[in-house]
Amino acid sequence: MIPPHTDTVAAARFFRVFGDATRLRLLQLLLERGEMTVGELVAAVGQPQPRISTHLACLRHCGFAVTERRGREVHYRLAVDGLDALLAQAFGVMTPISGRLASCTRIGPDWM
């Protein structure tokens, strides 16, 4: 059941992508709407464009999202399967402990 050691390290990196609220929000948006332009993501998240683009670059590089340029606009789509199930599972695990999570001092303030 326990994956080898290197898989644990890789998994921690994976979870760290989700550990930023802006990136998580972007993933959620793409999950729901299927495909969005940068401008739409910027508007939906309500943060400055460079900030969104930086996070999108991370998602792109890591393989979570793929892009397609159409004229001036760049469209982003999810490139992973199972994200909906993962998020649903995560909410199931965290809901009973969310109050405790909020006061953890090891996990600091949120960026969003």
Partner DNA sequence: CCAATATATCCGGATATCAGGATACCAGTG
Partner DNA sequence: CACTGGTATCCTGATATCCGGATATATTGG
| Closer residue to DNA (CB): 29 or 38 | 38
One residue of 12, 48, 49, 51 binding a copy of itself per CB under 8 A: 12
Nearest-CA neighbor of 68 among 77, 58, 56?
77
- Residue 34 interface partner, choices a copy of itself, DNA, none, CB cut-off 5-8 Å depending on type: none
SS3 94: helix
Tokens for 40, please give them: 């739409």
Residues 20-79 that bind DNA (CB under 7 A): 20, 22-23, 37-39, 42, 47-51, 53-58, 67, 69-74
State which amino acid sits at residue 33.
Answer: R
| Interaction partner, residue 81 (a copy of itself, DNA, none; CB < 5-8 Å by kind) | a copy of itself
* Smallest gap from residue 102 Cβ to DNA (A): 12
Residue 60 to residues 13, 29, 76, 83, 109, Cα–Cα distance (Å): 15, 15, 9, 15, 26
Phi, psi of 46 (to 5 degrees): 75, 35
Structural element, H or E, at residue 35: strand 35-37
Which residues are near a copy of itself by CB under 8 A? 1-3, 5, 7-21, 24-25, 28-29, 31-32, 54, 57-58, 61-64, 79-87, 89-94, 96-98, 100-107, 110, 112
